[in-house]
């Protein structure tokens, strides 16, 4: 236990790195997911084809393989090009290589999550908003957007929880995150079990906090939905009165 206390500040710093890695990766994945969903829903045939290729590759490549490819392969490619241009050696950040790999992978999953959430909104909602003269921005912010958010949150929460666990893989390229530092501490003290139990507990704590926040977000997104449906059960004919109320 004394060895654990000695390394505890180091492990807490690694935990902060892990959380930062997860948040940055989620931001990138969310951006790519929104763009991909837009390409599938509103894009032309070329755009839909490009997004389909992205989601197929993103959901098919193992995260470890892509992390190794981005960090080692990307670094080799950049420096080969830089050498031809007479530039000095460029070292890719382990942190941002992990963010890029995880963000690209889970952006493919979020593309389908956001696409499904968007098409789950009844078409009558948009038609009613346009019939009332509502601009596209107002329609999205006050009518279709909040409903799509309500449909997207459960799937987004699942992707986030899996993404958090995937951050552990980035330690293979030498990032000093929670897993990487625990591995080094375990080897130094010859007590790997003790330190990886701490890793397990920290990941469980992150998951528990995430569950609470996601449950709160879902309750907030569903506020007033039961009253607003008025027994309509989400049918198209129940959408127009809600759009009208939104502009009141």
pLDDT bucket at 1, cuts 50 / 70 / 90:
low
CA–CA separation, 125 and 115 (whole Å): 17
Q: Which residues of 110-119 are buried (b: 16+ CB within 10 A; e: fewer)?
A: bbbbbbebbe
- Whether this model's pTM surpasses 0.75: yes
Q: Among 99-113, 131-145, 213-227, where is mean pLDDT lowest?
A: 131-145
Mean pLDDT of the region 10-16: 93
Q: How many domains does the chain have?
A: 1
* Nearest of 130, 121, 124, 133 to residue 238 by alpha carbon: 124
Asked whether the beta carbons of 147 and 123 are under 8 A apart, the reply is no
Task: Provide the residue range defining the domain that includes 152.
Answer: 2-247
Give the CA radius of gyration of the chain: 23
Asked whether the beta carbons of 54 and 217 are under 8 A apart, the reply is no
What pLDDT shows up at residue 234?
43
* Nearest of 231, 221, 228 to residue 246 by alpha carbon: 228
CA–CA separation, 161 and 227 (whole Å): 31
First to last CA, the chain: 63
- 55 to each of 23, 33, 69, 110, 115, how far by Cα in Å? 21, 9, 18, 9, 12
Asked whether the beta carbons of 168 and 34 are under 8 A apart, the reply is no
CA–CA separation, 15 and 43 (whole Å): 40
Q: What is the pLDDT of residues 68-99, one digit of tens each?
A: 999 999 888 888 888 888 888 888 899 999 99
Mean pLDDT of the region 164-177: 93
pLDDT exceeds 70 at position 236: no
CA–CA separation, 241 and 221 (whole Å): 19
Q: What is the dihedral of CA 175, 179, 184, 189, to 10 degrees?
A: 160
Cα angle 39, 155, 222; round to 5? 105
- Residue 128: CATH number of its domain: 1.10.3720.10
Q: What is the mean pLDDT of the chain?
A: 85
Angle between helices 239-247 and 123-131 (to 10 degrees): 40
* Nearest of 10, 153, 185, 90 to residue 18 by alpha carbon: 10
* Cα dihedral across residues 42, 48, 53, 56: positive or negative: positive
High-pLDDT (> 90) share of the chain, %: 53
């Amino acid at each position: 236990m004394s060895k654990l206390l000695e390394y505890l500040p180091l492990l807490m710093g690694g935990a902060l790195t892990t959380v930062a890695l997860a948040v940055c990766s989620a931001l990138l994945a969310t951006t790519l997911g929104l763009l991909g969903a837009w390409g599938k829903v509103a894009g032309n045939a070329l755009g839909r084809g490009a997004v389909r290729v992205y989601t197929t590759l993103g959901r098919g490549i193992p995260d470890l393989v892509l992390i190794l490819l981005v960090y080692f392969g990307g670094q080799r490619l950049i420096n080969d090009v830089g050498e031809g241009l007479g530039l000095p050696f460029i070292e890719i950040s382990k942190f941002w290589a992990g963010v890029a790999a995880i963000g690209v992978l889970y952006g493919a999953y979020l593309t389908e999550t956001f696409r499904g959430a968007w098409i789950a909104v009844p078409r009558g909602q948009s038609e009613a908003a346009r019939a009332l003269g509502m601009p596209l921005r107002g329609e999205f912010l006050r009518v279709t957007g909040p409903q799509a958010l309500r449909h997207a949150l459960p799937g987004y929460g699942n992707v986030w929880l899996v993404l958090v666990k995937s951050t552990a893989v980035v330690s293979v390229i030498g990032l000093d995150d929670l897993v990487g530092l625990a591995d080094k501490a375990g080897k130094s003290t010859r007590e790997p079990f003790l330190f990886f139990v701490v890793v397990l507990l920290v990941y469980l704590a992150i998951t528990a906090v995430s569950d609470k926040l996601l449950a709160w977000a879902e309750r907030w997104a569903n506020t007033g939905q039961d009253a607003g449906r008025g027994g309509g059960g989400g049918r198209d004919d129940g959408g127009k009165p809600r759009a009208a109320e939104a502009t009141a």
